[in-house]
């Protein structure tokens, strides 16, 4: 089934993305609904609280992409067991944020092999200060850290297909990967793709608008008209949806670049509302229009952190 254009995806369920890092105030007994959507004979998408997960289950066992939030790991594992009761042999992390690596410690202690880009291990192994959240995420416990890391690409031969993990430099962070299941015709984009809301670019974590666009283009190059595309947040999509998202990113970048070429300051660029055509549809769920413009402006000017202005509401839920 074809997806609607990117800007038409608005879902109240996207409030699940709030608190991309630790969510330390989240109670372990908070009940979360997990929705499983089969995408192929072996690959299932799970949507819950945090980044979307892919589960590959078949004759070789189970591996997953990302593992959401630490306090909810037991609930997530229950949702995965509804798909397969085999042990989780491998975990691939698409980046280092806590809503994607929170289950690593439990899974690592249970014997799962955690795989990620080199930069993810480096960031998880040290304290990380983030200007957007104005907080420091402490280094993760040793059992949370990836034990197999790679520089550019790694392939996992599992459940009847060669699953290719591609590093995409300086996208949402500096350690992002997108994961391609060629036989299943499924792509997991991680947080390169926020479907239905303005994306978060972790400037402190090495992210950039240029890298986001390049990563989306790589995803497009791997897809065809039948490909199912898993976004980091939001509903599953397809080639049309990912292409529309790439076009949105590129046009938003170009609109801000025009203001830079006119010599506008960050405050002036924010006030000029260069993303006005998307603000109503995409700017009311989490990232505000002013914050989105700031991510782009700072990417284009080489500023490696978020800059809060008086016109921006930087409160996150």
**Residue 99 has what pLDDT?**
97
Residue 167 located in a structural domain: yes
Segments of the chain assigned E as strands: 35-38, 43-47, 53-58, 61-65, 88-92, 113-117, 128-130, 135-137, 148-150, 153-158, 161-167, 177-181, 186-188, 228-230
Classify residue 260: in a domain, yes or no. no
C-alpha closest to that of 228 among 241, 244, 247: 241
Report how far residue 55's alpha carbon sits from residue 42's, in angstroms, rounded to the nearest whole number: 8
Grouped pLDDT means (10 residues each) for the chain, 317 residues = 40 39 54 96 96 97 97 96 97 98 98 98 98 96 98 97 98 98 98 98 98 98 98 98 98 98 98 98 95 98 91 50
Number of domains in the chain: 1
pLDDT of residue 308: 85
pLDDT recorded at residue 30:
84
Query: Are the C-beta atoms of residues 266 and 303 closer than 8 Å to each other?
Result: no
Residue 281: inside a domain: no
Residue 307 lies in a domain: no
Q: What does the pLDDT read at residue 309?
A: 85
1 domain residue, yes or no: no
For residue 105, the domain's CATH number is 3.60.15.10
Give me the residue label for tokens 């066992």: 61
Decide if 280 is inside a domain.
Answer: no
**What residue numbers bound the domain in which 181 lies?**
6-255
> Is 262 a member of any domain?
no
What pLDDT was estimated at residue 311? 61
The predicted model scores a pTM of 0.91
Residue 284 lies in a domain: no
């Amino acid at each position: 089934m074809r997806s609607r254009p990117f800007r038409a995806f608005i879902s109240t369920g996207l409030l699940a993305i709030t608190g991309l890092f630790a969510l330390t105030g989240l109670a372990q007994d908070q009940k979360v609904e997990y929705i499983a959507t089969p995408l192929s004979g072996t690959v299932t998408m799970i949507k819950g609280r945090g980044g979307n997960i892919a589960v590959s289950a078949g004759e070789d066992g189970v591996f997953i992409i990302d593992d959401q939030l630490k306090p909810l790991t037991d609930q997530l594992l229950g949702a995965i067991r509804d798909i397969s009761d085999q042990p989780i042999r491998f975990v691939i992390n698409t980046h280092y944020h806590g809503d994607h690596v929170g289950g690593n410690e439990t899974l690592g202690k249970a014997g799962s092999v955690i795989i990620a880009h080199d930069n993810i291990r480096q960031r998880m192994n040290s304290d990380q200060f983030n200007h957007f959240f104005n907080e420091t995420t402490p280094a993760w416990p040793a059992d949370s850290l990836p034990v197999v890391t790679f520089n550019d690409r790694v392939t996992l031969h599992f459940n009847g297909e060669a699953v290719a993990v591609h590093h995409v430099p300086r996208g949402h962070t500096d350690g992002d990967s997108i994961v391609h299941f060629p036989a299943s015709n499924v792509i997991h984009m991680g947080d390169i793709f926020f479907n239905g809301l303005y994306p978060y670019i972790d400037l402190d974590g090495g992210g950039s608008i240029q890298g986001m666009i390049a990563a989306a283009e790589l995803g497009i190059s791997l897809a065809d008209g039948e490909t199912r595309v898993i976004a980091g947040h939001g509903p599953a999509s397809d080639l049309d949806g990912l292409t529309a998202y790439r076009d949105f990113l590129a046009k938003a970048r170009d609109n801000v670049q025009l203001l830079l070429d006119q010599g506008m300051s960050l405050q002036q660029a924010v006030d000029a509302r260069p993303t006005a055509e998307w603000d109503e549809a995409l700017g009311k769920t989490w990232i505000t229009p002013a914050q989105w413009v700031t991510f782009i402006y700072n990417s284009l000017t080489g500023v490696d952190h978020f800059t809060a202005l008086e016109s921006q509401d930087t409160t996150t839920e």
